[in-house]
Amino acid sequence: MQGDGILAKGKSYDELVASFVWQVPAAFNMGVACCDRWADGSGRPALIFETAAGAITRYSFDDLTHWSNAVANLWRSRGLSIGDRVGILLPQLPETAVAHLAAYKSGAVAVPLFCLFGIEALQYRLADAGIRLLVTDCAGAAKIAQIRDQLPDLVTVFSVDGEAPGAEYFSAALTGHSQAFTPVATAAEDPALIIYTSGTTGKPKGALHAQRTLLGHLPCVETSHDLFPMPGDLIWTPADWAWIGGLMDVLMPALYHGVPVLARRFEKFEPEAAFDLMIRHGVRNVFLPPTALKLLRGVGGGRRPGLNLRSVASGGESLGAELLEWGREVLGVTINEFYGQTECNLVVSSCSALYPVRPGAIGRPVPGHRVEIVDDGGTPLPYGTPGNIAIKAPDPVMFLGYWNKAQATRDKFVGDYLLTGDQGVCEDGGYIRFVGRDDDVITSGGYRIGPGPIEDCLLSHPAVRVAAVVGVPDPERTEIVKAFLVLNDGYIASPKLTRELQDHVRHRLAAHEYPRAIRYLESLPMTTTGKIIRRELRALPE
C-alpha cells in the first residue's frame, strides 16, 4: 500500500473544495518526508533505473536513505553550510534523486540544471545562484572546466561517472563517510530549491521555493492522476528532473507517497521506445508533455497490447479535443491537463475521476488554491470575461521570490494576486480556458484571438504533425494569424494544401481566426521543456 493522499477519496469536487484545509507544519523537510520516513528496513521499492543499454537497477527507500546520508556527511566535511547552494547538473539518474535528498536534509538549497545547457547558460545560472558545490558527470565537468575561472563561489565539483579535470569521482569521495546523519530541522518556510525559468522572455530568473512547496504540489498531483496514489501505482515521465515538471510533478511527490518511480530519460524522445518502456515495466501513471503526446500519436496505430495505464497527466501547452480523444482510444484513459508555472506550479487541473474533462479547458482550480481571472488592477472578473490568470496569496506552492531580484518579485504581484502572465477566461462550472501568454494573444480586426484553439484545429487535420500560431503585423488588421506547421510523412507543402488547411480552420472555428498565412518548416523552435518559442517564429525572415 502507498501513503494516503491528502485529498479525501469518495468526495465530490465541490465537497473537496469546501472542506479542504492546508495542514502545513511549522517544521518540514522534503528529504525526510520523501525518503527517511519510508526507510523502515522493509526494502520498500523507491526507484527503478534503466540505462540506455537496458540494464535495470532497483533501489529501496532504505538504499536512498543510507546513500543520501553518506552524501550529506561528505558535503558537510567539505564545508557545506545551511543555505549554501548545491548545483545538480545530471539527467534522470539515481544520483540525481540522492543529491536532491541530501541537499534538503542538509538544509542546503538545491539548484537543478539541465544537461543540454551550453556553457553560457550554465555560467549565468551558476554565478547568479552563487553555487558552492556541484554534482555532475564527466560531460558536465568538461563544460564547467571551460568557465571555472568565472565562478569564484564554486569550491567543489563531483562527477558521478568517473574523475574528470577539475572534478572528483563522486563514489570514491564517499568512501568512509557514515550512513547515519541527523537531518537539519528545517522550517517549512526555509529556502530549499531554486529552479530557473525557461527564459523565453529576457534572462532566466531563479524562482526560490521553500520546503513547503512539496506539500503545495500534492493536491494537483493527486487530482491530475485520478486520486493518486492507488495500490500498484508506478510513475514515469520523460520530462527531465532538472525542470519543475519532472522534479516536483513526479519524482518528489511520488517518493513522498511511497510510490516507486521509474527513471529512464531518452536523449531524444522515441515514441516506440516509450511505448515499450511503459509496457515492460507496467507503468500505471505517466506525465507526458504535450509534445511527447503528439509524437506518440504521430507513430499511428491503435491500443498497444500490454499497455495498462491508470492515469496520464499533461501540461505546458493547451490540449485540444483531438488529443483527448486519441488518448482515450490509444492510451485507454482520459488525459488530465494541468496548469502552473515555475513560480507557482500545479494550481489548476482536470480530474476525470471527479468531473467531466472539458476539451479546450485546462481544468478547474485544485482544492486549496484560489485561482481567478482578474483585470490588470487585480479585480476579479465575472465568468466569460477574459483577463489575467492569477493565484491568491498566500499559497503553499507559491515561490518565496526571485533569487536576488526583489523588484522582479514585486512586479509579479498585484495586491494579493500573483499574475501568471497568462490570459484566460473562467467559464460556467469554474472551468478555466487558457487563451495565451500576454504576448501570444493576437489582435486582428478588433478581435482578440488566442493561438491554442487554432493550433488544436490544425492538428486535427491528418497532414499536420506540429502547429504553432502567432500574430504578425498587418497594416489593415493590426495583425493577421500566421501558422507555422510541420507536416506528417506523406504530405508535401503546396498552395492546394494551404487552401485546404485554411478552409479547415475557417469552417471549424471562425472566419476571423483562420491563418491568412501558412509557412511550412522541418521543425519548430522549442524550449528545453518542450514549449514552442513563438517569439523566434515571429522573428523569422520572410
Computed over every residue of the chain, the mean pLDDT equals 92
* pLDDT at residue 414 greater than cutoff 80: yes
* pLDDT at residue 2 greater than cutoff 60: no
Strand bridging mode 371-374 / 56-60: unpaired
Q: Where exactly are the structural domains of the chain?
A: 439-539
Q: Output the CA–CA distances (angstroms, integers) from residue 360 to 327, 424, 450, 453, in the order listed.
A: 14, 11, 12, 7
d(CA 336, CA 62): 33
CA 328 to chain CA mean position, Å: 23
pLDDT digits (tens, 9 = 90+) for 314-349: 987 677 788 899 999 999 999 999 999 899 999 999
**DSSP per position, 273-295:** HHHHHHHHHT--EEE--HHHHHH
pLDDT digits (tens, 9 = 90+) for 22-40: 999 999 999 999 999 999 9
* Predicted local confidence at residue 474, as pLDDT: 81
> Tell me, what amino acid is at 257?
H
* Predicted local confidence at residue 201, as pLDDT: 47
* Averaged pLDDT for residues 401-429: 95
d(CA 88, CA 103): 10
* pLDDT at residue 199 greater than cutoff 70: no
pLDDT digits (tens, 9 = 90+) for 64-104: 999 999 999 999 999 999 999 999 999 999 999 999 999 99
pTM as predicted: 0.84
* Predicted local confidence at residue 1, as pLDDT: 41
Q: Output the CA–CA distances (angstroms, integers) from residue 160 to 89, 90, 139, 174, in the order listed.
A: 10, 9, 10, 11
pLDDT digits (tens, 9 = 90+) for 364-397: 999 999 999 999 999 999 999 999 999 999 999 9
pLDDT digits (tens, 9 = 90+) for 450-474: 787 788 889 989 999 999 999 888 8
CB distance 138 to 161 below 8 Å: yes
**DSSP per position, 169-238:** EHHHHHTT--S-------BTTSEEEEEE---SSSS--EEEEETTHHHHHHHHHHHHTTSS--TT--EE-S
* pLDDT at residue 292 greater than cutoff 90: no
d(CA 380, CA 69): 48
* Predicted local confidence at residue 300, as pLDDT: 85
Strand bridging mode 517-520 / 478-487: parallel
pLDDT digits (tens, 9 = 90+) for 480-533: 999 999 999 999 999 999 999 999 988 877 777 899 999 999 999 887 666 788
> Which range among 296-305, 392-401, 445-454 has the greatest average pLDDT?
392-401
* Predicted local confidence at residue 542, as pLDDT: 75
DSSP 249: I
Cell 487563451 appears where? 435
* pLDDT at residue 478 greater than cutoff 90: no
Q: How many CB atoms neighbour CB 8 within 10 A?
A: 13
- Binning pLDDT at 50, 70 and 90, where does residue 200 land? very low
How much of the chain, in percent, has pLDDT values that exceed 70? 96
Of 44-53, 242-251, 430-439, where does mean pLDDT reach its minimum? Answer: 430-439
Element (H, E) at 401: strand 401-402
| Helix-then-strand count for the chain, H and E | 17, 27
pLDDT digits (tens, 9 = 90+) for 154-185: 999 999 999 999 999 999 999 999 999 999 99
The H-assigned helical ranges of 11-116 are 13-19, 30-34, 61-77, 94-106
Fold category of 439-539 in CATH:
GMP Synthetase; Chain A, domain 3 (3.30.300)
- Binning pLDDT at 50, 70 and 90, where does residue 355 land? very high
